[in-house]
Amino acid sequence: MHRHVFCSRAAIFAAAATAGLLAFLPAQAQTPGSIVTPAALSSPATAPRAPACKVAAEQVRFDRPLPRTARLLVSGEPIKIVALGSSSTFGAGASTSAASYPSRLAEELARHFPRHEITVLNRGVNGDEATDMLARLDWAVIAEKPDLVLWQVGTNSVLRDKAVQPHASLLHEGLARLKATGADVVLIDPQYAPRVIDKPNIDRMVSLIVTTAKAENVSLFRRFDLMRHARRGRPQIMLTSENGRERKGSESNP
């Protein structure tokens, strides 16, 4: 049995995302030594250290490679990652901007790839839905010329009881535009949280995102299953926000 450390949502998300990335990236790129720049964020050193989050590899293994990211790591070239999403990407409820998941991800990547220049840009906006993200996709994401895009989507639409099926065309459009840039793309499905799982459309939204990722041949980060597994493993313990409380908000802190 795997032993898990329960900690903040941002920390477990970053640890799991890093584990997923590592599964497809070349071992020779992981060498002892130096830095990552979480651009447009405060330095991770200013954030309170969260407990280490241990994640079982089988929970986060991607089913698609990240060829551009792997190639850049092998060649030693700089890598730019853009995290697109809503409040859980932005870091709503985190103690500082440096405690958001993109900043924690930068910190984890710096530890695993210390000799590489890796920039992580946070492009999360509180309350955004897929339509909002597509509206700002060109200037907020594509204009940055990313090598890897992490797209977290679906939770706000579920919480607002929006119909799920129209999201299929939105996801396909967004993925087509991102893939046209040559960037690797990882879709991130909704979180497993009380206000989210109480909604009737949640299973359909998770299923749609899974199906879309497969059809578009992009990787999928199964956040919903990961958080469900963590919570069921210790039902008396909730994954917390960075301030240690279960926060309330428009997105139930996804």
**pLDDT tens profile 207-234:** 999 999 999 999 998 888 888 876 665 5
> What angle (nearest 5°) sits at the alpha carbon of residue 46, between those of residues 44 and 47?
70
Query: Which parts of the chain are beta strand (E)?
Result: 79-85, 118-124, 148-152, 184-188, 219-221
17 vs 47, more confident: 17
Q: What is the pLDDT of residues 56-104, one digit of tens each?
A: 555 556 778 889 988 998 888 999 999 999 988 887 654 455 667 888 8
Query: What are the CA-CA distances from residue 138 to residues 102, 123, 149 (Å)?
Result: 20, 12, 13
Q: Does domain 9-233 have CATH number 3.90.1170.20?
A: no
* Residue 9: both structure tokens together: 């949502």
Residue 134 has pLDDT above 70, yes or no: yes
Q: Indicate the domain borders of the chain.
A: 9-233
pLDDT given for residue 105 in this prediction: 87
Comparison of pLDDT for 190 and 97, the residue scoring more: 190
Per-residue CA distances from 23 to 11, 60, 91, 159, 163 (Å)? 18, 9, 26, 32, 35
